[in-house]
Amino acid sequence: MKEGSMDEILEILANDARITADEIAKLTGKSKEAVKKAIKHLEGNGTIVKYKTVINPDMMETGKARVRALIEVGVSPQKNVGFDNVAERMYSFPEVTSCYLVSGTYDLLLVVEGDDIQTVSNFIASKLSPMEHVRSTSTHFLLKKYKEDGQVLKKGRNKKRLNISY
């Protein structure tokens, strides 16, 4: 498959993970088999990591919405491995949903999720802060999600286009 074709398949899947290989074939003009093969290849080599659903927790039934916090962690780097060991110790906790090494006034940026504020606070206090090489933590609880992964979470406004025009 030509270079660029793979990108096009990824562009389509990134927008709708549930679209079938058959439909992608119709949209791109490739054979169904070629699309299936390409997707298998992309899954196999780790380009496609996972198929996920974007959920707006504000719309979930009461009590289901989870608490999320961004945590800035200052870390003293270790010889030879830098931040990698500490990062691994942290992201291996299932409570940590994202973990990034960043430039600036702190080192690791974590996203931590829990059922309520208490759970998240306990996790930070008992697991993260006391960890060896951690110099500091600064926690920001998320108050509202406006946009996530390129998707605005607010329900779209009514369309304004006329239904027919030249």
Partner 1 sequence: MDHKISKIVEQMAPSGIRAFFDLVLGMKDVISLGVGEPDFVTPWHIREAALHSIEEGYTSYTSNKGMPELRKDIVHFLEHRYGMKYDWNEEVLITVGVSEGLDLVMRAILNPGDKVLVPEPAYVSYVPTVQLAGGEAIILKTSIENNFKLTAKQIDGAITKGVRALMINYPCNPTGASYTRKELLEIARVVKKHGILIISDEVYDELTYDFDHTPLASLPGMKDHVIYFNGFSKSYAMTGFRIGYACGPAKILGAMTKIHQYTMLCASITGQIAASEALRHGAKSVEEMKREYKRRRRFIVDALNGIGLDCHMPEGAFYVFPSIKKTGQKSMEFATGLLNKKKVALVPGIAFGPSCEGYVRISYASSYENLKEAIARIKSYLG
* Binding site residues, partner 1, CB under 8 A: 8, 11-12, 26-29, 161-166
Nearer to partner 1, 144 or 157 (CB): 157
Nearest to partner 1 of 1, 142 (CB atom): 1
Give me the least distance between CB of 26 and partner 1, in Å please: 5
User: Nearer Cβ to partner 1, position 18 or 52?
Assistant: 18
Least separation in angstroms between residue 165's CB and partner 1 is 5
Gap between the Cα atoms of 129 and 17, Å rounded = 37
Helix H or strand E encompassing 13: helix 5-15
Structure token digits, residue 144: 């509202």
To the nearest whole angstrom, how small is the minimum distance from the Cβ of residue 33 to partner 1?
Answer: 17
Residue 36 CA to residue 24 CA, distance in Å, equals 9
User: Taking Cα atoms as reference points, which of 4, 3, 23 lies closest to residue 13?
Assistant: 23
